[in-house]
Amino acid sequence: MMGKELVIFVVGNSRSGTTMMSRILGFHPHVFSFEELHFFEQLWNPDNREKLSLDQARVLFSRLLTIQRDGYLTQGQYENYRNVALEVLGDNYSPLYPNEIFQLFLNFETSREGGFIPCEQTPRNVYYIKEILELFPSAYVLNMIRDPRDVLLSQKNKWRRRMLGGEGFKTSTLIRFWSNYHPITISLLWKSGIEAAARFIDSPRVFNVKFEDVIASPEWYIKELCNNIGLEFFPEMIRIPQVGSSIENDEPEKFGINPSTAGRWKRGGLDSSEIYLCQKILADNLESYGYEVEYIRPNLFFLLRNIFLFPIKSLLAFIFNLNRMGNILDTIRRRIFKSG
């Protein structure tokens, strides 16, 4: 049941720098960075530890190929990759566990792209660190941590990605992004993700990576990180294109890590009630991770409006994300009860 090959998993709260870190690692000549694959939770429930038949394996492998090559948001037809999946699985297929099919897929695509170390960057895998460490014993987990007020600002503007240069965003996806945002929801999810990862901080294969530390000294920090996970550092790793922001237009002709991405919330974009609610919910967590809590008096009207809208936005978010949950009860259990 165990995979032995090296895999790097970049996890953390959404909009915490997981894509940035994946791009940095993907600029290493031996590493290939994947799209968000959503293997755990959506494609496979880790509670199901049964081996897969050839047909089941073909479907899983084909779905992974579709997400990687056509894009998760486009949701292409996985039957388009039926023949590729069958060719890789082979004529003499012997039943494999889902995680073994996943490792086979990662190795296949990485080799096809000229690398030999896969880097997977699905943020919500922060709730599956236990399974990653168990099923991929040579894997490293990089848990991205970012000031939750900057996460709040980025999530608030995520629905604007299509206007800032993002591609492949359907209108329904943008509506889902809008529904997902509420200062209470995002703050609670930040807290849940942070606490889920904190359970494994003593593991030598799990590293907390603060977004702000990377921004402050990118070359030094990435050198240290590479040393910790056994990679040689290459200067071109930090020359990533400046794309993917929820605040600024994509500038793919500009390279390097943008220092202005840290502390953006201080320069506007959040009203006083959003900052107040975030700090109220996360006061202890903020101080634990070195983020200063600032005194703020909330606008009473906006505060009451946000409190009133919370159950409405929560219901909308639940409805629009139903098809992204492979097992609804397990998803809720891991996020709310922090079990798994």
DSSP 37-87: --IIIIIB-TT--PPBPHHHHHHHHHHHHHHHHH-TTT---GGGGHHHHHH
> Does 289 fall in a domain?
yes
Residue range 191-221, pLDDT digits in tens: 999 999 999 999 999 999 999 999 999 999 9
Query: Which residue is it, tokens 């634990």?
Result: 288
Q: How many domains, in total, are found in the chain?
A: 1
> Does 123 fall in a domain?
yes
> Does 3 fall in a domain?
no
What are the angstrom distances between the C-alpha of 12 and each of 206, 225, 304?
12, 16, 30
Least confident of 123-137, 162-176, 183-197: 162-176
- Percent of the chain scoring above 90 in pLDDT: 69
Q: What own/partner pairs with CB < 8 Å and gap ≥ 24 does 304-307 have?
A: 305/273, 306/182, 306/183, 306/184, 306/273, 306/274, 306/277, 307/184
Residue 4 pLDDT:
52
Q: Which two tokens stand for residue 131?
A: 């399974």
Q: What is the mean pLDDT of the chain?
A: 88
What's the domain range around 234? 8-336
> Does 145 fall in a domain?
yes
E strand or H helix at 88:
helix 82-89
How far apart CA 26 and CA 36 sit, in angstroms, is 14
CATH number for the domain spanning 137: value is 3.40.50.300
What are the angstrom distances between the C-alpha of 214 and each of 45, 122, 189, 209?
33, 19, 23, 8
Residue 71: pLDDT band by 50, 70, 90 thresholds?
confident
User: How many Cα neighbours within 13 Å face the side chain of 106?
Assistant: 30
Whether the per-residue pLDDT at 190 is higher than 70: the answer is yes
Whether the per-residue pLDDT at 338 is higher than 90: the answer is no
> Does 1 fall in a domain?
no
pLDDT, mean of residues 127-137: 95
Whether the per-residue pLDDT at 171 is higher than 80: the answer is no
Least confident of 14-23, 101-110, 118-127, 175-184: 175-184
Residue 2 pLDDT:
39
> Does 46 fall in a domain?
yes
> Does 156 fall in a domain?
yes
> Does 2 fall in a domain?
no
